Structure 1
Amino acid sequence: MARTRAEDFEEKQHQLLLTAAHVFATQGMDKASMSQIAAEAGVSKSLLYHYYPSKDALIFAIIHTHLEELDDALGAAIDPALTPRGQLETLVLTVLESYRGADDQHKVQLNAGPALSDDQKARIHQVERRIVKRFSAIIRDIHPELDRPERPLLMPVTMSLFGMMNWVYMWFRDGGPVSREDYAQVATTLILEGVKAVR
């Protein structure tokens, strides 16, 4: 008879991934062990292996789950009633809010390359492309000239915006002089106004 899922399965699984991400981020990919992660999470090693048969599978799950949750949040944040600029600022703020407390996942994502198979990397890139496309589509609506074949600047501009968002964890502190809402406005303005000088 198959084991039925507990009602709080998804919550426990999510907490397990957060704990594992913290262990990987603090101990390093090579040094962190499944035994360590199980102990830190307060579960048996056999239960951990039941859900994640290898350390690589666990690393993949941390990154893939984090990106899927981000993509879902971005999809829910889209509001056709907003102007394109308002939509872009909303998406930027959604990313910044999703990054709240996600420093460990970022560190795992940055250092996970050697631990992932080609198939796992392809699945992660698929989600990343969906996320990037949400932003590039709005930037194209505002500045269609960025997508000219003779001077294709849409992707460099879009990825420059991600550069600003993805590294915010290195310096941003909640409760500081700049709020996430403030920085969403700043990043949006820098991109939309800055491209006018590089066209």
Structure 2
Amino acid sequence: MARTIAKDHDDKRSHILKSAARVFAREGFDRASMSQLARECGISKANIYHYYDSKDAILFDMLETYLHQLRDAICGLDLKGLDAQARLRRVVQEILVAYQGADDEHRVQSAGLSALPDEQQVLLRGYQRELVVFLSDILAENAPALREDKRRLRAATMSVFGMLNWFYMWNTDADEAARKDYAALVSDLTLNGLKGL
């Protein structure tokens, strides 16, 4: 007889992933052990193995969940009726707001993605690429000349992400209002340069 799935299966799985993100961010993926994960989760190792057969499986599910949700949240924004500048402002703001509460996942994404098999990395990097292309297209709407120079367009896109990641990494306790204020600053800099401030 097949084992039934507990009613709280998804909640427990989410708890394991959030706890694992803390451990992987703090200890590093390579140094983290299943015993540490179990302690952080407040459950037994056997219970973790009920959900995941390995530490690698936890890492992949955590990053896949995080990046998939981030991609969907940003690329799925309803931007109809907004002009190019307003689209940029909205997307920049929503990226920074979406980062809130995901400090550990973001750190693990940066440091742990390369620990996964190539086919899993390809999937996860695909989510990242979709976000980059989405923002890149909006930047090009605001500065059409960038479409003719892919290298500069990529540099401009990654510069915006760099500004957002700086704030995110150094202001982890910032509330939504502070994130929105900084997002407006990034948008002003991007659209107008220093003269726009």
The TM-score with structure 1 as length reference comes to 0.86
- Check 1:55–1:175 CA distance in 2 against 1; reply closer, same or farther (3 A cut): closer
Residue 170 of structure 2 aligns with which residue? 171
Shift of 1:192: 2.0
Distance (Å, rounded) in 1 between the aligned partners of 2:4 and 2:133: 38
**Aligned CA-pair RMSD:** 2.3
The TM-score with structure 2 as length reference comes to 0.87
Letter in 1 for 2:28: G
Residue 181 of structure 1 aligns with which residue? 180
Residue 142 of structure 2 aligns with which residue? 142
Distance (Å, rounded) in 2 between the aligned partners of 1:119 and 1:162: 25
Residues 55-97 of structure 1: CA deviation (Å, up to 9, x unaligned): 1221122222111111121134232122221122111111111
5 Å matches for 1:50-65?
Answer: 50-65=50-65
2:5 equivalent to 1:5: yes
Higher helix share: 2
- Check 1:86–1:11 CA distance in 2 against 1; reply closer, same or farther (3 A cut): farther
Q: Which runs of 4+ in 1 moved over 4 A?
A: none
Identity %: 42
Residues paired across the two proteins, number: 194
Residue 45 of structure 2 aligns with which residue? 45
2:130 equivalent to 1:159: no
5 Å matches for 1:1-150?
Answer: 1-149=1-149
Distance (Å, rounded) in 2 between the aligned partners of 1:53 and 1:42: 18
Which runs of 5 or more structure 1 residues have no equivalent in the other structure? Answer: none
Which runs of 5 or more structure 2 residues have no equivalent in the other structure? Answer: none
Distance (Å, rounded) in 2 between the aligned partners of 1:175 and 1:145: 36
Shift of 1:182: 0.9
